């Protein structure tokens, strides 16, 4: 696929200095590169660069520039939020929600989604080449935060000369980014949609993340993060994914899908551990499927960013952080979510209300668990499309 390079100059960072953005495209995927002088400041205080962001866009910006929606993805997502056409061979991770005539209607809205900073689907992350050494960063990649991800997205929007958006929308780790957007850049958007994503991880979620990380780092093929010229830690990543998949579903759903059904005849279970219940077969398949498309180091960095997400740390106190929010806020919880249970989502609802946020709070009755927001589009359609409508109409009046 051909690459086209365009160089433009923009005023960036509010400091009046010239920021050079490089652009190119590969098929539907677009790229922008910046921080060439290692001058992107991380939340940790370290500087880093250069940074490439991979992003995709859907629909068109209207002449008022008031129909822009930023979608932020979850742990293993990427910029390919939806198919670009019926002929697009690659399914998008949110095809059910995003597209022409869908609840996030690309006939009406301009949608942009970028692969997160630290990711492995085009945006700079641990698998990217460190220009100083000519080798992948591996574990020399800096520890990053949700705020860093958001700041990289902000640069992307600056590069595209977008200085205001209608709404930022995200679920799970994407919801953390959406919240951080609302707190970091309160004037930048009219609305925020946060789905199944709490204010911060509780001890249990940190614990699950750590078990997953240990599974990766215990794999001898991890090699301290330097496995890019070798067989990678596919077993470790696969085990991590298997565990993740359990937490994304409710026990009720798993019973509905698999119950105790066996893939192998019962007699063979008395012969070896290689036999499988259907649920095991499903998890093995999901584990190996992720290995084919995802980088183990990115799994480490992004789960750690989730652990570290804590508005209280970044803004002095949680209350102070939440009081910064000006956007209209739609918070959606899933009743059967075991990863981010209702108790945490209701805590967040209460905190948002206490902080005076203009909040719409909805609970989706579901047996699907955390994954509901990727699957049960019919339950979200009216809630999300009406909220967007509301924001959009307000914008039109302004």
Instruction: Report the nearest approach of a second copy to the CB of residue 351 (Å).
Output: 15
Phi-psi region of 141 (alpha: psi -120 to 50; beta: other; left: phi over 0): beta
For this structure, is 44 an active site residue?
no
Contact positions with a second copy (CB under 8 A) in 80-99? none
CA distances from 132 to 33, 120, 140 (A): 16, 19, 12
- Kindly state the smallest distance separating residue 36's Cβ from a second copy, in Å: 23
Which residue, 99 or 225, has its beta carbon nearer to a second copy? 225
Contact in structure between 65 and 77 (CB atoms under 8 Å): no
The string of DSSP codes covering 157-172 is: HHHTT---EEEEEEET
Q: Does 44 bind a second copy (CB under 8 A)?
A: yes
- Residue 133: is it exposed, middle or buried by C-beta count within 10 angstroms (0-12/13-18/19+)? exposed
Question: Least Å distance between CB 91 and a second copy?
Answer: 25
**204 counts as binding a second copy under rule CB under 8 A:** yes
Alpha-carbon distance of 18 to 158, in angstroms, equals 12
Q: 3-state DSSP: the chain helix, strand, coil percent, rounded to 5?
A: 40, 20, 40
Contact flag: residue 215 with a second copy (CB under 8 A): yes
| Residue 152, C-beta contacts closer than 8 angstroms, at least 6 positions apart | 40, 51, 53, 114, 116, 117, 123
- Is 192 within 8 Å of 324 (Cβ atoms)? no
Rg (CA), the chain: 21
What is the C-alpha separation between 206 and 43, in angstroms, rounded?
20
**Nearer of residues 221 and 385 to a second copy, judged by Cβ:** 221
Is residue 370 annotated as a catalytic residue, yes or no?
yes
241 known ligand binder: yes
- 367 closest CA partner among 242, 256, 247, 278: 256
Q: Which stretch binds a second copy (CB under 8 A): 50-58, 153-161, 173-181, 243-251?
A: 243-251
Binding flag, residue 361, a second copy (CB under 8 A): no
Reduced to 3 states (helix: H, G, I; strand: E, B; else coil), residue 262 is strand
Q: How far is the CB of 117 from a second copy (least distance, A)?
A: 15
Q: What is the DSSP letter of 43?
A: T
Q: In terms of CB distance, is 1 or 203 closer to a second copy?
A: 203
- Of 79, 337, 366, 372, the active-site residue reads 337
Nearer to a second copy, 49 or 312 (CB): 312
Segment interacting with a second copy (CB under 8 A) among 50-58, 67-75, 77-85, 230-238:
230-238
Nearer to a second copy, 217 or 390 (CB): 217
Q: Shortest Cβ distance from residue 337 to a second copy (Å)?
A: 12
Q: Name the minimum Å distance from CB 295 to a second copy.
A: 15
46 binds a second copy (CB under 8 A): yes
> Rule CB under 8 A: which residues touch a second copy?
44-46, 139, 142-143, 200-204, 206-208, 210-211, 213-215, 217-220, 235-236, 238-239, 242-243, 246, 249, 251-252, 254-255, 257-260, 266, 269-273, 277-280, 283, 300, 304, 307-308, 310, 313, 338, 341, 343
User: Catalytic residue positions?
Assistant: 172, 337, 370
Known binding-site residues for substrate equal 241, 371
């Amino acid at each position: 696929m051909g690459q086209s390079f365009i160089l433009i100059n923009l005023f960036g960072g509010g400091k009046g200095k010239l920021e050079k953005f490089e652009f190119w495209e590969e098929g539907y995927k677009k790229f922008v590169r910046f921080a060439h002088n290692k001058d992107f400041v991380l939340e940790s205080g370290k500087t880093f660069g250069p940074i490439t962001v991979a992003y995709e866009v859907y629909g068109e910006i209207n002449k008022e520039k008031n129909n822009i929606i930023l979608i932020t993805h979850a742990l293993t997502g990427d910029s390919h939020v939806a198919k670009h056409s019926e002929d697009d061979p690659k399914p998008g991770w949110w095809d059910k929600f995003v597209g022409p005539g869908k609840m996030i209607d690309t006939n009406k809205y301009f949608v942009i989604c970028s692969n997160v900073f630290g990711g492995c689907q085009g945006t700079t992350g641990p698998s990217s080449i460190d220009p100083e050494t000519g080798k992948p960063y591996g574990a020399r990649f800096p520890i990053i935060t949700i705020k860093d991800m958001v700041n990289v997205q902000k640069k992307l929007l600056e590069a595209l000369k977008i200085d205001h958006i209608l709404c930022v929308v995200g679920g799970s780790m994407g919801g953390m980014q959406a919240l951080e957007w609302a707190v970091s850049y309160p004037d930048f958007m009219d609305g925020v949609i946060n789905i199944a994503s709490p204010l911060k991880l509780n001890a249990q979620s940190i614990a699950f993340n750590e078990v997953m990380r240990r599974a990766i780092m215990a794999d001898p093929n991890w090699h301290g993060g330097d496995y890019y010229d070798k067989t990678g830690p596919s077993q470790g990543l696969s085990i991590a994914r298997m565990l993740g998949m359990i937490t994304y579903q409710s026990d009720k759903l798993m019973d509905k899908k698999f119950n105790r059904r066996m893939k192998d005849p019962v007699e063979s279970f008395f012969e070896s551990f290689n036999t499988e219940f259907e649920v095991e077969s499903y998890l093995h398949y999901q584990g190996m499927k992720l290995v084919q498309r995802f980088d183990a180091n990115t799994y480490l960095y992004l789960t750690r960013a989730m652990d570290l997400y804590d508005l209280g740390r970044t803004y002095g106190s949680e209350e102070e952080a939440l009081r910064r929010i000006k956007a209209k806020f739609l918070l959606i919880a899933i009743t059967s979510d075991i990863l981010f249970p209702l108790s945490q989502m209701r805590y967040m609802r209460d905190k948002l209300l206490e902080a005076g946020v203009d909040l719409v709070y909805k609970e989706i009755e579901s047996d699907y668990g955390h994954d509901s927001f990727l699957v049960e589009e019919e339950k979200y359609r009216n809630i999300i499309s009406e909220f967007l409508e509301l924001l959009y109409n307000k914008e039109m009046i302004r």
